[in-house]
Amino acid sequence: MIIKNILITGASSGIGEALALYYAKQPTTENIFICGRNKERLEAVKNACEKLGTAKIHAQILDTTNKQAVEYWINDAEKTAYLNLVFANAGVATLEETPNNIFNTFNINVMGVINTVVPTIEIYKKRKDTNKIIAITSSIAGYHGLPSCPSYSATKACVKAYGEALRLDLLKYNIQVNTICPGFVRSRITDKNKCPMPFFMEKEPAAELIAKRIEKNVGLIAFPWPMRLATWFLSILPNRISDFIYKQLPHKV
């Protein structure tokens, strides 16, 4: 599968930025559509991408919670170039569990993903080709509700389940769906973390790992493997045991 045209939400920092830079270096890439809410950071990513290859970089200031704006942007991108890969990547950390932060986390991490994925599916269904990929960014935190970040882990569990279900549901349309569950990867979210971050990764190797596993059509891209194994194991334990273990872990401060 040749990936020529890529669209990435939340591309102004973190994994989204690293993915944009990775694909900008690939000789087969023709167009990269990126969006973010911060104009200065997004412009910096656009400029960096343009220096790495020959792909045309299209940058759009966009709030993914705006359903109509996201749908218009994706449809407009499709008119420019048939999309091969769409990353529903935009996300935020809750930080303090205040009412405003909780609603904001669910709006961006869940509705922002849905606002990106649904119009993409409708576009892909109309096409007969097989170069159609959706990638949804969840998190290792989505394997089990975490007492240190209830809202964040809940939203990531939601989009993890959504992506896994869509993978089989959309097979009949030749649409490939990959769900990405990273551990701690450098981003504006992890920069604010004050809790321990085991198996921490820089965003560049994380982006390369994601891209290569998408090429292999690995349905659930969860890494690093020790964290995936640990969180999966905790998720299948009886609550009385997992509760005891979580009580021993350090909480964010």
Among 165, 199, 163, which Cα is nearest to 184's?
A: 199
Say whether pTM exceeds 0.85.
yes
pLDDT along the chain (253 residues), means of 10: 94 95 97 97 98 97 98 98 97 93 98 98 96 96 87 97 98 97 76 62 93 97 84 80 73 51
d(CA 31, CA 135): 17
H-state helical runs in 93-202: 99-106, 112-125, 150-169, 188-191
Strand ranges for 132-219 from DSSP E? 133-137, 176-182
DSSP bridge pairs for 23: none
Cα(217)–Cα(80) distance, integer angstroms: 26
Cβ neighbors of 125 (< 8 A, separation 6 or more) are 173, 175
Q: Which residues contact 152 (CB under 8 A, 6 or more apart)?
A: 93, 94, 105, 109, 139, 141, 146
d(CA 64, CA 180): 18
Contact criterion met (CB below 8 Å) for 200 and 146: no
Using the structure block, give the residue that is written with the tokens 């007492």: 147
Architecture of domain 5-248: 3-Layer(aba) Sandwich (3.40)
**What are the CA-CA distances from residue 90 to residues 65, 66, 118, 247 (Å)?**
10, 13, 15, 30
pLDDT at 149: 86
Whole-number Cα distances in Å, 8 to 15, 74, 245: 10, 10, 37
CA dist 116 → 63, 66, 91, 208 (Å) = 11, 10, 12, 22
Per-residue confidence (pLDDT) for residue 33, from 0 to 100: 98
Compute the distance between CA of residue 150 and CA of residue 246 in angstroms, rounded to an integer.
13
Q: Write down the domain spans for the chain.
A: 5-248
Beta bridge partners of 201: 185
pLDDT the model gives residue 227: 77
> What's residue 253's pLDDT?
42
- What's the pLDDT score for residue 191? 57
What pLDDT shows up at residue 127?
Answer: 96
